[in-house]
Amino acid sequence: MTERDPKETAWVIDVGDADFENAVIERSQRAPVVVDFWAPWCGPCRALGPLLERLAGEYEGAFVLARVNVDEAPALAAALRISSIPMVVGFRDGAAVAEFVGALPEGEVRAFLERVLPSAADRLVADGEKLRKSGHAADAEATFRRALELDGRCERAMLGLAMILSDRGQDQEANALLDRIGPGPVRAEADRLAAEIRVREGAGGDERALRAKVAADPGDLESRFLLAQVLAAASRHGEALDQYLEIVRRDRRFRDEGARKAMLDIFALLGPQHDITVHYRSELAKVLFS
């Protein structure tokens, strides 16, 4: 490789097996990272590398160029199935978003960067998320809607807008947006919000009256289910899961397996590592597979 211009070195880093997770995956949550897989013996790599470094300097921090010498990082190259070099992969928000193989002309490399770098809609989403988190819901909503006007497929704008609508109790509109989000990193957040909305739906019942009905007739699964909904909506998740689990024990097909599905919603809401999730997921498995 040619000697780097000092201006470029601020945006160019060398990465190996040990630091790829932090230097690329974690860092791409904050800014795009373009990874150049190369080797000293590769002629096309020697042509492409300086171009990428020059562009990294020209873009002045819009992305970080991470150079991976595959000879010095064989485990990483094997894990990512790098079979041809140069190979360039763009990461954003912790995931690969674009890639190419070979020494492309500068115009095509610039077109690749445009796919990796945040679009105008992406920048609006970042502004909207800051506004929402600081309590400026109306301004955030307007910003997310502008992002969707620019890019009707911008999933983070859909999610941000759905969060605002859900906070207002406009759950039908929120769910319509969530349903438009496809597989990928945003889908997991969308699933969590959808689960939160479903859990909240049972907030209107009378806990005392429902407990009395269940005490009088433990086989009254409808009252037990409604009681579980009330408890879940009040964030008393362990108590709700106890009731749902009892329904699964007595009749797992009740309400089209509604108790099992409700338990999965609570697991999604709390997250897979939460102590309540771990415990009740195990208890549910024992009932289902006993």
d(CA 290, CA 285): 8
User: Which residues, including other chains, have CB under 8 Å from residue 132's CB and lie 6 or more apart?
Assistant: 140, 160, 163, 164
d(CA 214, CA 166): 31
What is the SS3 assignment for 24? helix
Q: Do the domains at 6-116 and 120-200 have one common CATH topology?
A: no
What is the SS3 assignment for 34? strand
Q: Is the domain defined by 6-116 classed in CATH 3.40.30.10?
A: yes
Burial of 152 (0-12, 13-18, 19+ CB in 10 A): exposed
**Domain boundary assignment for the chain:** 6-116, 120-200, 207-288
User: Which residues, including other chains, have CB under 8 Å from residue 106's CB and lie 6 or more apart?
Assistant: 51, 55
- Residues 180-234 pLDDT 10s: 999 877 898 999 999 999 998 877 889 999 999 999 999 999 999 999 999 999 9
**Does the pTM exceed 0.85?**
no
* pLDDT score recorded for residue 184: 79
* pLDDT score recorded for residue 9: 67
Residue 228 · residue 198 · CB < 8 Å: no
The catalytic site residues sit at 42, 45
List the chain residues with pLDDT less than 70.
1-9
Q: For 207-288, which CATH class?
A: mainly alpha
d(CA 92, CA 200): 33
User: Which residues, including other chains, have CB under 8 Å from residue 71's CB and lie 6 or more apart?
Assistant: 39, 40, 41
Structure tokens at 150: 């620019």
Which homologous superfamily is 120-200 in?
Tetratricopeptide repeat domain (1.25.40.10)
H-run or E-run covering 194:
helix 185-200
